[in-house]
Structure 1
Amino acid sequence: MATIAAPTGGPTAVLPRPSTSILPVVATLGLLLSWLLAAVNKTVPDPYMDEIFHIPQAQKYCEGRFDEWDPKITTFPGLYLVSTLYFKAASTLNVGDFCSVAVLRSVNVLFALGNVVLCVLLRRHVAPQDPNALLHALRIAVFPPLFFFTFLFYTDGGATFFVLLMALLAEKVDLLQYPPARGSFMLSATCGAVAVLFRQTNIVWVVFVAGTVVVRCVELAHSKFIYGSLKEDTSVNGTSSVTHSSLRVFLNFISVVISNIPSILLIVWPFVVLVLGFISFLVMNGGIVVGDKSNHEVTFHGAQPAKEIAQIGPPERCPVHKFMLADNRHYTFYVWRKFFLKHEVAKFLPTPLYLFFGWHCWDELGRRRSPLWKLVYALAVSLVLIPSPLVEPRYYCVPFILLHLNTSNQSAFHLWVVTAVYMAVNALTLYIFLYHPYTWVDGSTARFMW
Structure 2
Amino acid sequence: MTLFIQINSPSFWLINSLAAYSVISKLIFDHIYLTSKMVVDEEFHIPLGKAYCNFNFSVWDPKVTTLPGLYLASSLLLGPFGLCQPYYLRFVSLLASFINLPLFYILFSKYCPESKWSNICSSFTLALLPPLYFCSHLYYTDVVSLTMVLLTFVMYEMDCHFCASIFGSLAVVCRQTNIIWVVFVAGQFLLKAMYATFAPKQTKTSGGINMSFQEIVDLLKELMKNPIKHAINTYLRFWKGITSYLAVGVAFLTFLAINGSIVVGDKSAHEATIHLPQLFYFSIFCLVFLWPYFVSQSLDFLNFIKTHKLVILLFLILGLLIVHYNTLVHPYMLADNRHYVFYIWNRFYGKYAYFKYFMVPVYIFSLYIVIKTIYSSGDASYLMMYILCVFIVLVTQKLIEVRYYFIPYILLRLKTGNRIPLAKFCLILEFLTSLFVNIATLKLFFTKTIMWSDYADPQRLIW
Q: Relative to structure 2, which stretch is displaced further, 379-388 or 304-313?
A: 304-313
Which of residues 286, 291, 309 in structure 1 aligns to 2:265? 291
Counterparts of 1:119-138 in structure 2, within 5 Å, are 119-131=104-116, 132-138=118-124
Q: Say whether the 8 Å CA contact 2:418–2:424 is kept in structure 1.
A: no
Deviations for 1:84-121, whole angstroms, at most 9, x for unmatched residues?
111145x2xxxxx6111111111111111111100000
Aligned: 1:29 with 2:3: no
Which of residues 202, 207, 211 in structure 1 aligns to 2:183? 207
Aligned match of 1:8? none
Aligned match of 2:135? 149
Counterparts of 1:258-407 in structure 2, within 5 Å, are 258=224, 259=227, 260=230, 263=234, 265-309=239-283, 312=319, 313-407=322-416
Q: Say whether the 8 Å CA contact 1:439–1:446 is kept in structure 2.
A: yes
Deviations for 1:340-371, whole angstroms, at most 9, x for unmatched residues?
12344322222212211211122221232412
The residue identity in structure 1 corresponding to 2:424 is A
1 CA distance for matches of 2:181 and 2:397?
16
Q: Say whether the 8 Å CA contact 1:368–1:408 is kept in structure 2.
A: no
Q: Say whether the 8 Å CA contact 1:83–1:104 is kept in structure 2.
A: yes
Q: Say whether the 8 Å CA contact 2:274–2:395 is kept in structure 1.
A: yes
The residue identity in structure 1 corresponding to 2:172 is V
Residue aligned with 1:194, SS: helix
Aligned match of 1:422? 434
Which of residues 63, 67, 73 in structure 2 aligns to 1:72? 63
Q: Structure 1's 65 and 418: CA in aligned 2 closer, same or farther, altered over 3 A?
A: same
How far off is 1:249 after superposition? 5.1
2 CA distance for matches of 1:371 and 1:414?
25
Aligned: 1:38 with 2:14: no
Cα RMSD for the two superposed structures: 2.2
Deviations for 1:209-238, whole angstroms, at most 9, x for unmatched residues?
11121232244344469x9xxxxxxxxxxx
Q: Say whether the 8 Å CA contact 2:65–2:267 is kept in structure 1.
A: yes
Residue aligned with 1:284, SS: helix
1 CA distance for matches of 2:357 and 2:222?
40
TM-score (norm 2): 0.81
Q: Structure 1's 369 and 408: CA in aligned 2 closer, same or farther, altered over 3 A?
A: farther
Aligned match of 1:254? 220
Residue aligned with 1:151, SS: coil
Residue aligned with 1:348, SS: helix
1 CA distance for matches of 2:281 and 2:164?
30
Aligned match of 1:11? none
Counterparts of 1:58-137 in structure 2, within 5 Å, are 58-88=49-79, 91=81, 98-131=83-116, 132-137=118-123
2 CA distance for matches of 1:434 and 1:193?
37
Q: Say whether the 8 Å CA contact 1:165–1:188 is kept in structure 2.
A: yes
Aligned: 1:198 with 2:174: yes
**Seq. identity, %:** 32
How far off is 1:412 after superposition? 3.0
Aligned match of 2:307? none
How far off is 1:40 after superposition? 0.6
Residue aligned with 1:125, SS: helix
Q: Relative to structure 2, which stretch is displaced further, 354-363 or 141-150?
A: 354-363
1 CA distance for matches of 2:217 and 2:357?
34
Q: Structure 1's 253 and 324: CA in aligned 2 closer, same or farther, altered over 3 A?
A: farther
Q: Say whether the 8 Å CA contact 2:66–2:263 is kept in structure 1.
A: yes
Residue aligned with 1:319, SS: coil
Q: Structure 1's 67 and 441: CA in aligned 2 closer, same or farther, altered over 3 A?
A: same
How far off is 1:76 after superposition? 0.6
5+ residue gaps, structure 1: 1-17, 92-96, 174-183, 228-244
1 CA distance for matches of 2:125 and 2:222?
39
Deviations for 1:277-303, whole angstroms, at most 9, x for unmatched residues?
111211221111111111111111111
The residue identity in structure 2 corresponding to 1:254 is L
Residue aligned with 2:196, SS: helix
5+ residue gaps, structure 2: 1-9, 204-211, 285-317
Q: Structure 1's 186 and 257: CA in aligned 2 closer, same or farther, altered over 3 A?
A: farther
Q: Say whether the 8 Å CA contact 1:114–1:161 is kept in structure 2.
A: yes
The residue identity in structure 1 corresponding to 2:75 is T
Q: Say whether the 8 Å CA contact 1:159–1:199 is kept in structure 2.
A: yes
The residue identity in structure 2 corresponding to 1:199 is R
Aligned match of 2:445? 433
1 CA distance for matches of 2:48 and 2:231?
43
1 CA distance for matches of 2:231 and 2:437?
48
Aligned match of 2:293? none
Aligned match of 1:447? 460
Deviations for 1:388-407, whole angstroms, at most 9, x for unmatched residues?
10111111111111111123
TM-score (norm 1): 0.83
